[in-house]
């Protein structure tokens, strides 16, 4: 089947041209003062918002693994997260809580937020994001277990559809002793709900 002229034109168009076309189809004038530079701004913003596609999450952790004799729970909580819903390309944002129990190796603490950034700065769904973070940590250091909880607000629910402004989605991924050990899982969930002031 031969592609239509319109399809062929859109396929070869630049990102900026596609944004300009979107503005026209929304019924606006792309030559209006406030919109003249919007295609370039949108293109630049989108490149930043999905920059995670250029990151290799496993490689981020590879150079930050340390051998230690420590087998208690390590928790990094309240990590800010921003992503784009792959269904509507609207933002969702919230906090990520990560815990693991080492089995001879630990991850440099600053690498956990970077790992989250690598996966969240893509077109995502919260459920997949949660699982990707947990499985990457599990694969990198083979700990006794990993727990990841994400609490997020989705603009696709808040601005459109059901328009529930105060709703939040909570997802979790529990591996190893976090999945099979109720006491470990309960301790993790209890600790991330505690308010702590870090000096």
Is there a catalytic annotation at residue 87?
A: yes
Selecting among 85, 97, 117, 177, the annotated active-site residue is 85
Is there a catalytic annotation at residue 33?
A: no
Verify that 95 and 18 share a domain, yes or no. Answer: no
Verify that 184 and 167 share a domain, yes or no. Answer: yes
Selecting among 86, 142, 165, 180, the annotated active-site residue is 86
In this predicted model, what pLDDT tens digit does every residue of 62-112 receive, in sequence order?
A: 889 999 999 999 999 999 999 999 999 999 999 999 999 999 999 999 999
pLDDT (mean) for 8-29: 87
Contact assessment for residue 148 and residue 96, using Cβ atoms and an 8 Å cutoff: yes
Selecting among 97, 117, 132, 154, the annotated active-site residue is 154
Is there a catalytic annotation at residue 180?
A: no
Secondary structure (3-state) at 86: coil
Selecting among 97, 117, 124, 126, the annotated active-site residue is 126
Is there a catalytic annotation at residue 88?
A: yes
Verify that 96 and 176 share a domain, yes or no. Answer: yes
Is there a catalytic annotation at residue 97?
A: no
Judged on CB neighbours under 10 Å (0-12, 13-18, 19+), 86 is: exposed
In this predicted model, what pLDDT tens digit does every residue of 131-155 receive, in sequence order?
A: 999 999 999 999 999 999 999 999 9
In the chain, the percentage of residues whose pLDDT exceeds 70 is 90
Judged on CB neighbours under 10 Å (0-12, 13-18, 19+), 24 is: exposed
CATH (domain of 45): 1.10.286
Verify that 121 and 167 share a domain, yes or no. Answer: yes
Q: Which pLDDT belongs to residue 157?
A: 85
Query: What is the extent of the structural domain holding 34?
Result: 5-49
Conformation bin of residue 104: beta by default, left when phi > 0, alpha when psi is -120 to 50: left
Selecting among 21, 135, 156, 187, the annotated active-site residue is 156
CATH (domain of 115): 3.30.1130.10
- Please give the residue that has the higher pLDDT: either 128 or 2: 128
Verify that 146 and 130 share a domain, yes or no. Answer: yes
Q: Which pLDDT belongs to residue 63?
A: 86
Distances from the Cα of 3 to the Cαs of 7, 9, 11, 17, in angstroms?
Answer: 6, 10, 10, 19
How many residues are listed for the chain in this entry? 199
Is there a catalytic annotation at residue 156?
A: yes
Model confidence pTM above 0.85: yes
């Amino acid at each position: 089947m031969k592609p239509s002229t319109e399809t062929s034109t859109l396929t070869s168009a630049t990102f900026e041209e596609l944004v300009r076309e979107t503005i026209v189809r929304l019924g606006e004038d792309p030559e209006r003062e406030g919109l003249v530079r919007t295609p370039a701004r949108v293109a630049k913003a989108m490149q930043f918002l999905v920059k995670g596609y250029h990151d290799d999450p496993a490689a981020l952790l590879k150079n930050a693994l340390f051998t230690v004799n420590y087998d208690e729970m390590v928790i990094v909580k309240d990590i800010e997260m921003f992503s784009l819903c792959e269904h509507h390309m609207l933002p969702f944002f919230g906090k990520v809580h990560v815990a693991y129990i080492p089995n001879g190796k630990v991850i440099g603490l600053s690498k956990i937020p970077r790992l989250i950034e690598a996966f969240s700065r893509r077109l995502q769904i919260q459920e997949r994001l949660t699982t990707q973070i947990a499985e990457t940590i599990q694969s990198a250091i083979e700990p006794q277990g990993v727990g990841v909880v994400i609490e997020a607000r989705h603009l696709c629910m808040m601005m459109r559809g059901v328009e529930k402004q105060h709703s939040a989605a909570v997802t979790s991924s529990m591996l190893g002793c976090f999945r099979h050990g109720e006491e470990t899982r309960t301790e993790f969930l209890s600790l991330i709900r505690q308010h702590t002031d870090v000096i």
